């Protein structure tokens, strides 16, 4: 018979994303409903090494549903990558009497969770990253809000690009994945989108599309670049050298991580947090909570970390089809 869990910990690790607080809130209140105490571990895995913690109750997580960032703070821990650091984390878990941990974050967070689980600490992961690059889930907390933040910024940039008849090159986040860039590019009607999953040819994929758009009467152009492709500044220079126009480059950066989470991220985070605690309470540990087809699923951590998430190239085909601009006239055949 499985031992009843009496006290669990919750932490947020790695890059923050909108909706992390909603997940923390759900974990705390579900734990209380299941008869457990909940301890917040501050500053990610590093907090387990330094014993940086705070007891959490229903009131302490009130009014955080709409807040961006994370009330538990977050950090990347080099100490946790060492055996000595992980053993210290285990000692902290034993000292606090933690029967399990809910770890909210991305790939690095889950690798830490796997290491801790191998030392005997039950862990359940909740995927929260604006990159949406976790293979075992269709969706990660924060992606939709980050997309909408980028869209709002680019819409504003388009206003000024139209006024000055210029080309804008915008770099969005996403680490080594192009999900954010492609989704945003379709939503803003970009002239071209460059993603790391697809090798690009500057002449074919950018310059020629700008030429066609200009021949069709367009006077402003929007190029969206995923950070995994390379520097938007360098791509802007290449465009200038190839076609003579001088693009204005904007790197959106960490603004995409901030802001109040939207409805999708609040609802998804709440459901994932709830099911994470239910998994622990039911003895189903060392897994990652995810979504597939709208349903909540559990995937063993080891299996989840081996899974790859592929960019849906049909979306790229959609982008190329609907953003192509046919010249207003046909060049005579030679």
Spatial distance between the Cα atoms of 260 and 19, rounded to a whole number of angstroms:
8
| Cα gap 251→241, rounded to integer Å | 20
- Helix H or strand E segment including 14: none
- Short-list 331, 315, 39, 22, CA closest to 179: 315
Give the whole-angstrom CA distance, residue 92 versus residue 104.
19
How far apart CA 204 and CA 210 sit, in angstroms, is: 10
Task: Decide if 116 contacts 104 (C-beta within 8 A).
Answer: no
Is residue 155 part of the annotated active site? The answer reads no
User: Residues near 210 by Cβ (< 8 Å), separated by ≥ 6?
Assistant: 167, 191, 192, 221, 239, 243, 245
Q: Which long-range contacts (CB under 8 A, 24 or more apart) does 229-232 make?
A: 229/178, 229/194, 229/195, 229/196, 229/200, 231/171, 232/169, 232/170, 232/171
* Cα–Cα distance for residue pair 95/88, rounded to 1 Å: 10
Distance (Å) of CA 326 to CA 50, 258, 321: 61, 38, 11
Distance CA 285, CA 250 (A): 43
Which of these is catalytic: 52, 99, 107, 131? 131
Q: Are 192 and 244 in contact (CB under 8 A)?
A: no
Catalytic positions are: 131
């Amino acid at each position: 018979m499985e031992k009843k869990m009496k006290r669990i910990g919750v932490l947020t690790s790695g890059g923050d994303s909108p909706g992390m607080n909603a997940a923390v809130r759900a974990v705390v209140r579900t734990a209380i409903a299941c008869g457990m105490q909940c301890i917040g571990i501050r500053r990610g895995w590093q907090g387990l090494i330094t014993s940086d913690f705070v007891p959490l109750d229903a009131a302490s997580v009130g009014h955080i549903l709409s807040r961006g960032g994370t009330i538990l703070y977050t950090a990347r821990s080099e100490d946790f990558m060492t055996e000595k650091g992980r053993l210290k984390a285990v000692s902290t878990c034993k000292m606090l009497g933690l029967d399990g941990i809910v770890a909210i974050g991305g790939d690095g967070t889950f690798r830490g969770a796997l290491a801790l689980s191998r030392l005997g600490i039950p862990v359940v992961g909740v995927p929260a990253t604006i990159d949406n690059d976790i293979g075992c889930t269709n969706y990660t907390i924060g992606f939709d809000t980050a997309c909408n933040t980028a869209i709002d910024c680019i819409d504003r940039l388009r206003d000024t690009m139209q006024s000055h008849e210029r080309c804008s090159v915008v770099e969005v986040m996403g680490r080594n994945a192009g999900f954010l860039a492609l989704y945003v590019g379709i939503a803003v009607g970009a002239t071209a989108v460059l993603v790391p999953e697809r090798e690009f040819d500057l002449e074919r994929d950018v310059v020629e599309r700008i030429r066609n758009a200009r021949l069709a009467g367009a006077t402003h152009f929007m190029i969206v670049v995923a950070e995994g492709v390379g520097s938007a500044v360098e791509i802007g220079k290449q465009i200038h050298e190839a076609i003579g126009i001088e693009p204005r480059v904007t790197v959106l950066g960490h603004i995409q991580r901030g802001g109040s989470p939207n409805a999708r991220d609040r609802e998804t985070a709440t459901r994932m947090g709830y099911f994470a605690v239910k998994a622990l309470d039911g003895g189903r540990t060392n897994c990652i909570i995810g979504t597939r087809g709208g349903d909540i699923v559990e995937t063993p951590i080891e299996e989840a970390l081996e899974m790859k998430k592929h960019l849906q190239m049909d979306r790229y085909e959609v982008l190329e089809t609907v953003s192509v601009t046919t010249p207003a006239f046909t060049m005579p055949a030679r």
